[in-house]
């Protein structure tokens, strides 16, 4: 096996004479994966899996999906026929080098939904509304609520951060021709931010979707259960999971990475701070930086007595106020 590596392309010629090439596009995960595989003297079989379009799906999805005769197969349930729209997205994300973990987990959860119509319509709704998918495959959406955080329709369900709201699935109206009916509703930002005086982010398991109503430009859905993540200002809008923008908002960070986030230095994938290895390329992650307490540095007087003489000889903040004994630092 022979290899040629340049700044923009890697060529691999296998022992049987076949040649495969991978071009380095901006943010190309596959290019980095080939490079890492060559560095660790990977086998020809592993290199072929990364370089070959169809074999790569199985490699990219960590053995959970593969392409057989041009069709995507869910290996845990090979008898299940994946809707063509989801197959297309699976192929697209793999070929573009999207980090696999979140989308593959989302897809596995969605395929557990007992409603075929829900499976076929939910993904399109998420993409159209610009919602995001967290690291565990759950969908993060918006919900308009009353001033007391209860739901707009009945005023019975309190949407406080951390609350888990649930009802039997068969109590939720699954008729998409019924715009407002039984069930919990959430939607895209355009729908939710003007629906109530306050707004919360909710976290929904794709298998709990029941219906995408036809009204409101299909801007909302009905589900049987969800968890409230946090309250956000009505003007706050998350970055879409499908966006090409490199930065994520603080709101999305808190929803997707509850322990904080850290960026992989190899492929640029954002991972949860508790992760030891990158979800995108498997590289070891750096230790997350501890945030400095800026409040201590900004103190110009003792909060308890107003004494301004609170600095040491080296101009550092004293631990205690010399006038009243109030603790000024946590050291």
For residue 211, the cross-strand partners are 222
Report the range of poorest mean pLDDT among 178-192, 213-227, 272-286: 272-286
- pLDDT score, position 247: 40
Q: Quick one: pLDDT band at residue 65, thresholds 50, 70, 90?
A: confident
Whether 277 maps to a domain, the answer reads no
Judge if 143 and 223 occupy the same domain. Answer: yes
305 and 237 within one domain = no
Read off the pLDDT band of 249 (50, 70, 90): very low
Residue 275: other Cβ atoms inside 10 A:
18
Contacts of 246 (CB under 8 A, 6+ apart): none
Residue 297 has pLDDT above 50, yes or no: no
Of 210, 241, 272, the residue that ends a domain is 241
DSSP per residue, 267-297: T--EEETT-SB-TTT-PBPPPPPPPP-HHHH
Same domain for 233 and 125: yes
Statement to judge: residues 55 and 133 lie in one domain = no
Asked whether residue 287 is assigned to any structural domain, the reply reads no
Place of tokens 């629906």: 195
Q: What is the pLDDT of residue 305?
A: 74
Q: Is residue 15 part of a domain?
A: yes
Query: 255 falls in which pLDDT band (50, 70, 90)?
Result: low
What's the predicted TM-score (pTM) here?
A: 0.60
Does residue 124 share a domain with residue 94? no
Q: Cα–Cα distance between 286 and 274 in angstroms, integer?
A: 11
Strands, E, within 205-253: which ranges?
209-211, 220-223, 225-232
Give the integer Cα–Cα distance in Å for 120 and 258: 30
Residue at 251 is within a domain:
no
The residue with greater pLDDT, 29 or 196, is: 196
Residues 81 and 139 occupy one common structural domain? no
For 35-51, what is each residue's pLDDT tens digit? 777 888 878 877 776 67
- Boundary (domain end) residue, out of 98, 131, 148: 98
Nearest Cα to Cα of residue 17 among 6, 37, 1: 1
10 Å Cβ neighbour count for 56?
A: 22
What share of the chain has pLDDT > 70, as a percent? 77
Is residue 134 in some structural domain?
yes
* 8 Å CB contact between 211 and 222: yes
pLDDT for 14 equals: 84
pLDDT in tens, 180-203: 889 999 998 888 887 889 999 999
Asked if residue 250 belongs to a domain, the reply is no
In this structure, are 59 and 132 located in the same domain?
no
**Do 129 and 22 sit in the same domain of this protein?**
no
Q: Let me know how long the chain is.
A: 331
Same domain, 138 and 235: yes
Number of domains comprising the chain: 3
For 300, the domain range is 293-331
> Do 22 and 125 share a structural domain?
no
Buried b (16+ CB within 10 A) or exposed e, 132-161: bbbbebbbbbbbbbeeebbbbeeeebebee
pLDDT at residue number 329: 76
Same domain, 143 and 27: no
254, part of any domain: no
Closest C-alpha to 195, from 220, 165, 160, 230: 220
Of 67, 98, 129, the domain-final residue: 98
Q: Are 65 and 90 in contact (CB under 8 A)?
A: yes
């Amino acid at each position: 096996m022979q290899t040629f590596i340049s700044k923009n392309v890697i060529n691999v010629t296998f022992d049987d004479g076949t040649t495969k090439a991978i071009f380095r596009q901006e943010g190309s995960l596959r290019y980095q994966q080939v490079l890492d595989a060559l560095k660790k003297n990977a086998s020809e079989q592993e290199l072929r899996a990364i370089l070959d379009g169809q074999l790569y799906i199985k490699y990219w999805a960590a053995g959970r999906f593969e392409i057989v005769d041009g069709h995507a197969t869910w290996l845990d349930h090979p008898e299940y026929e994946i809707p063509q729209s989801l197959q297309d997205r699976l192929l697209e994300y793999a070929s573009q080098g999207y980090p696999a973990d979140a989308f593959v987990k989302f897809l596995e959860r969605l395929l557990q939904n007992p409603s075929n119509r829900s499976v076929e319509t939910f993904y399109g709704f998420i993409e159209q509304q610009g919602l995001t998918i967290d690291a565990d495959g759950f969908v993060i959406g918006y919900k308009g609520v009353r001033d007391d955080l209860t739901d707009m329709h009945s005023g019975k369900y309190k949407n406080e951060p951390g609350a888990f709201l649930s009802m039997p699935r068969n109590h939720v109206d699954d008729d998409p021709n019924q715009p407002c009916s039984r069930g919990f509703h959430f939607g895209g930002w355009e729908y939710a931010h003007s629906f109530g005086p306050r707004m919360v982010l909710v976290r929904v398991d794709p298998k709990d979707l029941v219906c995408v109503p036809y009204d409101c430009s299909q801007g909302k859905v009905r589900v049987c259960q969800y968890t409230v993540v946090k309250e956000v200002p009505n003007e706050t809008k998350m970055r879409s999971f499908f966006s090409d923008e490199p930065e994520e908002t603080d709101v999305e960070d808190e929803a997707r990475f509850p322990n904080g986030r850290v960026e992989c230095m190899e492929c640029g994938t954002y991972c949860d701070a508790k992760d030891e290895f990158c979800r995108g390329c498997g590289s070891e992650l750096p230790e997350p930086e501890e945030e400095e307490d800026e409040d201590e540095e900004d103190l110009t007087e003792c909060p308890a007595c107003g004494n301004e003489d609170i600095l040491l000889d080296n101009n550092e903040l004293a631990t205690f106020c010399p006038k009243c004994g109030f603790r000024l630092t946590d050291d």
